[in-house]
Amino acid sequence: MVADKSKRDIFINSVVNFLIEYNLDGFDLDWEYPGAADRGGSFSDKDKFFYFVEELRTAFNKVGKGWEITVAVPVAKFRLQEGYYVPELCELVDAVHVMSYDLRGNWAGFADTHSPLYKRPHDQWAYEKLNVNDGLQLWVDSGCSPKKLVVGIPFYGRSYTLSAGNNNYNLGTYINKEAGGGAPGPYTNATGFLAYYEICAELLNEDGGWTKKWDEQGKVPYAYKGTQWVGYEDPVSVQIKMDWIKSKGYAGAMTWAIDMDDFHGLCGPKNTLIHILHANMDSYDVPEPHVSTTPRPEWDRPKSTTPSGGSSSATKPTQPPTIPSRPSTSISTSAPVSTSSSPVPSTPDDSDNFTECEGDFLPHKDCNKYYRCDHGKPMVFSCEPGTVFHIGLNVCDWPANSDREECKP
C-alpha cells in the first residue's frame, strides 16, 4: 500500500473519515518492520514509510482536530538503519512507542529474560546492546528527542523448555529449541508465552515446585521448574523501570498488554502492574531534554512527496543531490548459479563502473561487500568481518556457505 502514492491517499482519506465518524483521538502505526528483508520488505520501504507518515500528518493537520500520530518501533540497530529516518520521523509523530520487549525468545536458542534493563555479562555479539537502556539510547543518539519516547513494558513472560537432563537454570542456559518454547499456560494457551497472571499464580502456590530468581544486572525476575523456564516482569521490576524512565526524562510508559495483568487480584491487588505505571506517571511532568542532536546531512535526508491537500507543519527535508554518472560501457559477468530459487543478479566487473541499478540487492566484486539500490543508485554495504555476501539468500554468511566459488575458503 505505502509503495503507491494513490493507494496511500485512499488509505489516509479512509483513516480521516474513520476518526471523524467514531470521534477518536488519533492513529497508531505498527509496521514490523519497514525495510525488513527477512519479512518480505524492500530497501525502498524506508522512504515510503516516511512519505506515508508525512502525508498522514499533513492530512491530520488540515482537519485541525489535534489528532495524534503514534508509532511502534523496534530497538535493534539494524532495524533502525533499514527502515527509519529517525529525526524526521520523530518530528512528525506525537509519541514513539518503543517495543522494548521480546528482546529474547525461543528463536534465540537459549533461555533468557526478554526485557532486561541493562547489559549483562553473558550478552555478546548481536545481544550486547539489545536491552532496554541501550535500545532507548540508540533512538536518542539517532536523533529522537527523549520527550517523544515511550518505553514498552511487557505484562507477560517468554518461556522455554530446557534441554533434557539440563540442570543449569542460569541465564543463557541451553534449551530444546524444537519444542517451540515453554509449555502453554492454562488460559493464554500459547507455546513460549505466559501472561503475568498465569506466572504469579504458579509462584504463589508453595507446592507448585517453581523457583524464583532475580537477574541482577537486567533488573527483572525469572523462574524455573523441571524443564520449564520463564523470564518476565513483576511489581518490583516494573517499579525499577518507572524510576529509570523518570531519571532519563522519557515521555512515559506503555504496555503490551493490559489484559495480561493480574485483573482478578489472584496474587495481590487487582491490576497491580498497570497501577504502578499510573501511580508513577500521574504526577510526572516530562522535562525538556538536555541533549542535542546533530542535524542529518542534506544528502542523507529523505525526499518529501507532494502532500495531499496542504503542507506538513514539519520542516520538509530536501532532496539528496544528484550524483553525476560517469560515462562507461557497463560490462558484467554472470554470477555463479545459486542453490536458491531466487533470481541471481549480475556482478559488475568494477565497483566504479556502474552508476545505475534495478531491484534491491546486488553482489559486489569483493566477497565481503554488496550493493543495495536506492532510487536506482547503487550503495555499497560491508558484511561483518569474517563473513561474505550470499547472492541467493541476500545475507552475509560464513565463507563455507558461500554460493560463489571464489568466496569459499
Measure the CA–CA gap between 380 and 392, rounded to whole angstroms: 18
Number of H helices, E strands in the chain: 8, 17
Torsion sign (Cα): 68, 10, 40, 142: negative
What residue type is assigned to position 384 of the chain?
A: E
CB-based contact 223:199 (threshold 8 Å): yes
Q: For cell 525538556, name the residue.
A: 288
Measure the CA–CA gap between 295 and 242, rounded to whole angstroms: 30
The residues near 197 (Cβ < 8 Å, ≥ 6 apart) are 187, 260, 261, 262, 263, 264, 266, 267
CA neighbours closer than 13 Å in the CB half-sphere of residue 5:
7
CB-based contact 92:45 (threshold 8 Å): no
Max Cα-Cα span within the chain = 78
Residue 202 annotated as catalytic: no
* Dihedral pair phi/psi, residue 280, rounded to 5°: -80, -30
Nearest to 124 by CA among 167, 77, 172: 172
Residue of 32, 68, 128, 356 with catalytic role = 32
CB-based contact 267:197 (threshold 8 Å): yes
CB-based contact 340:392 (threshold 8 Å): yes
Nearest to 34 by CA among 69, 6, 1, 5: 1
Q: Is 378 helix (H, G, I), strand (E, B) or coil?
A: strand
Catalytic machinery residues:
32
